[in-house]
Amino acid sequence: METLTNYEEDQVNEILQWKQQEPSVVAKGLGALMKPLAMVLQILIPNSVIRGALNSANDAGAFLADEEDICRDGHVQFVEELKHKGLAVSDRLADEVHNWAIAIAMAEGGGAGALGAPGMAIDIPALLLLSTRTIHKIGLCYGYKAVSEEEKIFALNILSVAGSNSMKEKQAALAELLILKNTLKVPWKKMGEKGMHGMFLKLIRELCKQLGINFTKRKAAQAIPIVGAGIGALANGDFIRDVGYAARRSYQERWLTENHKWKRDD
């Protein structure tokens, strides 16, 4: 193992702390007044809507995560060079992507929230697209390009971590990430196309249920017109903040382990 720099050691501690943090949505339990709105919200955004949005958002997010600005700002010719350039460089790039995504999420959520409940039909697919784009874009900052199906599944698992509704869900999603991280070190063909497809379908099913609950907790009050604008902005910004940190910590860990800086077995 190579010796960690002081900066890298600080980031290792940040990763460990993040893994132990309770999902932020846990603190957003629904009060009695919000429960009727939550029921309306569950009707407006059934799992089928989330499933449809997820199926297209991950591929679209990878496609829209252009790499020109990452290469320019990282002073590299190809994003893959960032796998070995320096963690501080990648973290700076990821921070810029993260902050931009939060601002866009708040603007979109505010506009959709002003429409009240009908705005959800626009808001949820847009938020999922921005989420997957943010994950893929942050992945580029660390040199990981989603050109393979396994990388796209890795990105969806990061979304699962960010959308966890309990520590149990978060720990399960982190365990899946560890399995995938180890799988990515060997040729994907060992699992086979059937195994890969089965993993993808299972993940989509679980994410639909998980995000349905998560969005209901975060966005119930958004169903109220006008007031919903502020709620929508805050809820979307908060969700993308969680997504960004899940992506940053997950790709940081991959960068550190693949550069033989840190070995994780749990």
pLDDT digits (tens, 9 = 90+) for 62-120: 777 889 999 999 999 999 999 999 999 999 999 999 999 999 999 887 776 666 666 67
Quick one: which of 164, 124, 135, 140 has its CA closest to 58?
A: 135
What integer pLDDT is reported at residue 138 of this predicted model?
97
Q: What is the pLDDT of residue 194?
A: 61
pLDDT at 145 over 60: yes
Yes or no: say if 246 and 263 are a contact pair by the CB < 8 Å rule. Answer: no
pLDDT value of residue 45? 59
The domain ranges of the chain are: 30-256
Dist CA 185 CA 188 (whole Å): 9
Q: For residue 240, give the nearest of 202, 214, 204 by alpha carbon.
A: 214
Q: With 60 as the cut, is the pLDDT of residue 38 above it?
A: no
Confidence of residue 27 (pLDDT cuts 50, 70, 90): low
The confidence band for 226, taking pLDDT boundaries of 50, 70 and 90, is low
- Highest mean pLDDT (candidates 145-149, 168-172, 207-211): 168-172
Contact 266, 182 (CB under 8 A): no
Looking from the CA of 55 toward its CB, the CA atoms found within 13 Å total 10
pLDDT band of 185, cuts 50, 70, 90: low
Gap between the Cα atoms of 172 and 19, Å rounded: 11
What pLDDT shows up at residue 2? 76
The mean pLDDT of the chain is 81
Q: How far is CA 22 from the centre of its chain?
A: 16
Cβ pair 135, 243 in contact under 8 A: yes
| CB of 61 closer than 8 Å to CB of 132 | yes
Give the C-alpha separation, 214 to 54, whole Å: 15
Distance CA 127, CA 129 (A): 5
What pLDDT is recorded for position 58? 80
Higher-pLDDT residue of 113, 184? 184
